[in-house]
Amino acid sequence: MMACARTYYDTVSLKNSAIDIQTSGGIESAYVAVVCHACIEPPCAKVCPTGALVKRKGGGVVFHKDLCTGCEQCVGACLVGAIHMDRDAKAIVCKHCGICTSFCPHDVLEMRKVGDADDMHTKTSCEEVK
Amino acid sequence: MSSVSGLASVLYINLTNETSKVVNRQDLHDKYLGGTGVATMLMHEEFKEGTDALDPESPIVLSIGPLSGIFPCCTKVVAMFRSPLTGEFGESHAGGRLAMAMRFAGYSSIVITGRAKRPVYLSIYNNDIRFKDASSIWGLSSTTDIGKILRNVEPSAGKRSIIRIGTAGENRIRYANVNVDTYRHFGRLGLGAVFGAKNLKAIVVSGDGEIEVPSKSAYSKIYKEIFTNIVETDLMEKYHNLGTTENILPLNELNGLPTRNLQQTFFEYAEMISGENFADNYLIRKISCAHCPIGCIHIAMLKTSFGPSHEYEVRHISYDYELVYALGTNLGILTPEGVLELIDKCEQYGVDIISIGVVLAWATEMSMQKRFTTEETKEVLLKWGDVKNYLRAIDLIVESPNEFYSALAKGVVFASGKYGGEDFAIQAGGLEIPGYHTGVGNLVGLTVGVRHSHLDNGGYSVDQKAFKNNLSDEEIVDMLIFEDDIRGVLTSLTICLFARAIYTYDAIIEALATIGIERSEEELIELGRDIFMKKYELKRKFGFDLDDVTFPSRFFETASTNGMIDEARVQNVLSMYKKKRWGADRT
């Protein structure tokens, strides 16, 4: 989370991370990583009224921050809860850059190429943190 | 001095009036950075002479450092208070999520005074401070359940910290702890009893702040260097793999593992409760404090039957070296199941495991010498390895139904003062000892250390070096002083001491520079010394005098890693330490 937030924002924070680590029932239970699943037909893009979120080749979305009006339609449309808002009321959404995986020391998050080498779409695989 | 704003905000809480205020204390932070340094100065300001540890006005200070939440492994919070166990200086450090939560809520320190009129818990969410009724959770028998209940009524799942006391704190057991996020603790010296005396059941902290750093590229670069050092070198691997329990077998081999109330320093059955056995057969997960890549918190699974028709429950219990010593070797417990049962019992009540382990070990020896009546003990017959009776004794200590168990609840110094057996009440500076009997370095280190903890100056580690290379007494003293001082710097930055090999002076200087704090190595060394001296001023106010320290003879009757310890030599090393610290004429 720290890595994601500092890569895309000028500040140090947890809140500006596109990947969110939660506990399901307290620290005694398993951790859960909530992050964009890179839907092939992304519901968030469908409900975006301004075209800020656009379907991305291979899955997920491309986010045009300047077009985002902060309506939060995408937040509700995302079933996995992978979108939240920053303090300027702009959506925070995963770019699948993989920076989080390079700061994960325990084989939990990994960067995986999907499809052939020409298709640079990548996916962070992190359903559950051990 | 720092160009990063919001790193010097102190939140003052008054429980009596249910009021709070925030004051920018840049003055203190400019000089003392944060953590233990700032806490010491806040304690000097807040402590009124003559105030007993459990008086309403006795202050609690919680402090983080400027690197907290910004760099990895800066995960600790320093708690400072007057100890109800020893009556003198109280300081304890905890990990978990509290440091991260305080940072993003916007507070570098929290100062708590007063006594609430009814049981309360504090809810701190950014600048929203609430005093909430805790009557319905007061008296609840499980600290784990307290967490579960508060989790459902407070915001910020996953990013908050929930610290709470159990019934031991409510009942003011003098070594009650404060549970931090289920698996970490302000363990030693009785902060839980201070919470109890303030009618303070719990504190929930969270926030969603952002911190601006002067140069993000410089920050990201240094961050990456430190992070890489942590995860790609073997400097910290041992803490992740077997964890601290990897020390059970080596210390057993070296005759440094206190066993059956330090009657010996090896345990015949050490392999049965070794770190290896725990890891191979009981370990189910490893977790980290927030913003630490290591994962040193080892969680074991204990499956027990509670009914005849294959009725089972499964408990997840954290374990580490000190616990396996205190509720394992030192009580002669043979099985991991037995150790885990005892750990869990203490966890649910919220008592310091090292202290209660030593109290039980002393009581066992007394009991075997038939120095208690069955009326006193309520027919609980303590003997080595008997898990059932130890479990019962822990219940009774926390419940304190009679004078005998009330005495045990006041610690081994008080109990042995009342019933005898001081010669084998294994304490240093009034505090029940941790799991080392390695030699002169450990004994003197525990005695002179500001909180009489093995973590003050790592005397056990000095002894292990002496074992290999034969150190002179002067070298031992110099090493203790060096460690006392550098650890004052590390804990002012609330860097976990497990990361001390990562955060060298050079690394600290670079990390501080990225947030606009310029320090030289000389300045840091001087700061460490200054903090040590300021803490000793506090210790004197609380009535501590190094000249008054006495040792139980047990220390000199049981062989250590470095052979039998000669009391005259210990006194000599102690004098040398005092001379180097304060000059010839002052102790």
Judge whether B144 is closer than 8 Å to chain A, CB to CB.
yes
Specify the pLDDT at position A115: 60
Residue holding tokens 């059970």? B248
How many percent of chain B have pLDDT more than 70? 98
Q: How far apart are CA B527 and CA B410, in angstroms?
A: 35
- Taking CB atoms and an 8 Å cutoff, what residues of chain B touch A21? 158
Q: Is the pLDDT of residue A120 over 50?
A: no
Q: How many CB pairs under 8 A join A and B?
A: 63
B458 and B546 co-located in one domain: yes
State the sign of the Cα–Cα–Cα–Cα dihedral B119, B353, B453, B262: positive
Specify the pLDDT at position B586: 56
Judge whether B231 is closer than 8 Å to chain A, CB to CB.
yes
B386 and B482 co-located in one domain: no
- Taking CB atoms and an 8 Å cutoff, what residues of chain A touch B285? 130
B133 and B249 co-located in one domain: no
Q: How far apart are CA B283 and CA B271, in angstroms?
A: 16
Does residue B216 fall inside a structural domain? no
Q: How far apart are CA B87 and CA B83, in angstroms?
A: 5
Residue at B184: amino acid letter: R
Number of domains in chain B: 3
Q: Which has the higher per-residue pLDDT, A24 or B462?
A: B462
Specify the pLDDT at position A126: 41
Specify the pLDDT at position B274: 98
Closest CA of chain B from A10, distance in Å: 7
Q: How far apart are CA B587 and CA B578, in angstroms?
A: 6
Judge whether B107 is closer than 8 Å to chain A, CB to CB.
no
Asked if A14 lies within 8 A of B295 by C-beta distance, the reply is: no
Judge whether A103 is closer than 8 Å to chain B, CB to CB.
yes
Judge whether B474 is closer than 8 Å to chain A, CB to CB.
no
> DSSP letter at B53?
T
B126 and B251 co-located in one domain: no
Does residue B139 fall inside a structural domain? yes
Closest CA of chain A from B104, distance in Å: 7
Question: Among the listed ranges B170-174, B213-217, B416-420, which one has the minimum average pLDDT value?
Answer: B213-217
What CA–CA distances, in Å, run from A46 to A37, A49, A98, B430, B504?
A: 15, 8, 25, 68, 52
Q: Over range A9-37, report the average pLDDT.
A: 88
B276 and B394 co-located in one domain: yes
B45 and B152 co-located in one domain: yes
Q: What is the DSSP string of B93-124?
A: EE-TTHHHHHHHHT-SEEEEES--SS-EEEEE
Q: What angle do CA B334, B338, B343 make, to 5 degrees?
A: 125
Q: Over range B547-568, report the average pLDDT.
A: 97
Q: Can you give the CATH number for the domain in which B122 is found?
A: 3.60.9.10
- Which residues have C-beta within 8 Å of that of residue B444, sequence separation ≥ 6? B459, B476, B477, B480, B570, B573, B574, B577
Candidates B98, B159, B179: best to mutate against A (most CBs of A within 10 A) is B159
B81 and B183 co-located in one domain: yes
B242 contacts B275 by C-beta, under 8 angstroms: yes
- Which residues have C-beta within 8 Å of that of residue B12, sequence separation ≥ 6? B20, B21, B22, B23, B111, B113
Per residue in B451-481, pLDDT tens? 999 999 999 999 999 999 999 999 999 999 9
Beta bridge partners of B180: B163, B184
Specify the pLDDT at position B532: 98
B202 contacts B144 by C-beta, under 8 angstroms: no
Per residue in A27-53, pLDDT tens? 888 888 999 999 999 999 999 999 999
Q: Is the pLDDT of residue A127 over 80?
A: no
- Taking CB atoms and an 8 Å cutoff, what residues of chain B touch A23? 157-158
Q: Is the pLDDT of residue A75 over 80?
A: yes
Residues 303-322, chain B, touching A (beta carbon < 8 A): 316
Residue B237 binned pLDDT confidence (cut-offs 50, 70, 90) = confident
How many percent of chain B have pLDDT more than 90? 93
Does residue B421 fall inside a structural domain? no
List the domain range (segments joined by +) for residue B302: 241-405
B160 and B245 co-located in one domain: no
Please tell me whether residue A107 adopts helix, strand or coil conformation: coil
Q: Can you give the CATH number for the domain in which B282 is found?
A: 1.10.569.10
Cα Rg of chain B, angstroms: 23
- Taking CB atoms and an 8 Å cutoff, what residues of chain A touch B70? 12
Q: What is the DSSP string of B187-213?
A: -TT-HHHHHHHTTEEEEEEE----EE-
Does residue B223 fall inside a structural domain? no
Asked if B208 lies within 8 A of A13 by C-beta distance, the reply is: yes
Specify the pLDDT at position B155: 77
Does residue B297 fall inside a structural domain? yes
Q: How far apart are CA A128 and CA A123, in angstroms?
A: 15
- Taking CB atoms and an 8 Å cutoff, what residues of chain A touch B223? 6
Q: How far apart are CA B120 and CA B174, in angstroms?
A: 21
Alpha helices in chain A (DSSP H): 2-8, 43-47, 73-77, 99-102
- Note the ipTM here: 0.79
Residue B503: name the closest of B183, B519, B62 by CA: B519
Residue holding tokens 């102790």? B587
Question: Among the listed ranges A86-90, A126-130, B168-172, B374-378, which one has the minimum average pLDDT value?
Answer: A126-130
Q: Over range B301-329, report the average pLDDT.
A: 95
Asked if A13 lies within 8 A of B158 by C-beta distance, the reply is: no
Specify the pLDDT at position B150: 92
Closest CA of chain A from B239, distance in Å: 14
Specify the pLDDT at position A112: 83
Closest A-chain CA to B158: A22
Q: How far apart are the first and last CA of chain B?
A: 35
Does residue B197 fall inside a structural domain? yes
Per residue in B318-370, pLDDT tens? 999 999 999 999 999 999 999 999 999 999 999 999 999 999 999 999 999 99
- Taking CB atoms and an 8 Å cutoff, what residues of chain B touch A6? 216, 219-220, 223
Per residue in B541-553, pLDDT tens? 999 999 999 999 9
Phi, psi of B183, rounded to the nearest 5 degrees: -110, 0
Specify the pLDDT at position A28: 82
Residue B329: name the closest of B376, B380, B411, B267 by CA: B267
Closest A-chain CA to B100: A14
Q: How far apart are CA B312 and CA B224, in angstroms?
A: 46
Candidates B210, B285, B302: best to mutate against A (most CBs of A within 10 A) is B210
Residue holding tokens 């219940």? B395
Q: Is the pLDDT of residue B280 over 60?
A: yes
Closest residue to B159, CB basis, from A14, A26, A31: A14
Q: Over range B374-383, report the average pLDDT.
A: 96
Closest CA of chain A from B177, distance in Å: 19
One CATH from 3.40.50.1000, 3.40.50.300, 3.40.1190.20, 3.30.70.20 for A2-129: 3.30.70.20
Candidates A4, A10, A14: best to mutate against B (most CBs of B within 10 A) is A14
Q: Over range B189-218, report the average pLDDT.
A: 96
Asked if B182 lies within 8 A of A23 by C-beta distance, the reply is: no
Per residue in B491-527, pLDDT tens? 999 999 999 999 999 999 999 999 999 999 999 999 9
Q: How far apart are CA B437 and CA B265, in angstroms?
A: 7
B264 and B394 co-located in one domain: yes
Q: Can you give the CATH number for the domain in which B493 is found?
A: 1.10.599.10
Whole-number average pLDDT of chain A: 86
- Which residues have C-beta within 8 Å of that of residue B357, sequence separation ≥ 6? B325, B326, B327, B330, B331, B432
B452 contacts B430 by C-beta, under 8 angstroms: yes
Whole-number average pLDDT of chain B: 95
- Taking CB atoms and an 8 Å cutoff, what residues of chain B touch A9? 210
Specify the pLDDT at position A122: 42
Q: Over range B165-174, report the average pLDDT.
A: 98
Domain boundary among B206, B228, B256: B206
- Taking CB atoms and an 8 Å cutoff, what residues of chain B touch A12? 69-70, 210-213, 219
Q: Is the pLDDT of residue A121 over 60?
A: no
Closest residue to A12, CB basis, from B69, B148, B227: B69
Judge whether B221 is closer than 8 Å to chain A, CB to CB.
no
- What does the CA dihedral B196, B200, B206, B210 come to, rounded to 10 degrees? -90
Closest B-chain CA to A4: B220
Does residue B256 fall inside a structural domain? yes
Residue B407 binned pLDDT confidence (cut-offs 50, 70, 90) = very high
Does residue B231 fall inside a structural domain? no
Closest B-chain CA to A25: B148
Specify the pLDDT at position B584: 66
State the sign of the Cα–Cα–Cα–Cα dihedral B13, B17, B21, B23: negative
Q: Is the pLDDT of residue A128 over 90?
A: no
Q: How far apart are CA B194 and CA B346, in angstroms?
A: 18
B263 and B363 co-located in one domain: yes
Asked if A130 lies within 8 A of B69 by C-beta distance, the reply is: no
Q: Is the pLDDT of residue A130 over 60?
A: no
At B229, which helix (H) or strand (E)? Answer: helix B216-232
Residue B24: name the closest of B38, B40, B7, B37 by CA: B7
Asked if B182 lies within 8 A of A20 by C-beta distance, the reply is: no
Q: Is the pLDDT of residue B74 over 80?
A: yes
Q: How far apart are CA B576 and CA B572, in angstroms?
A: 6
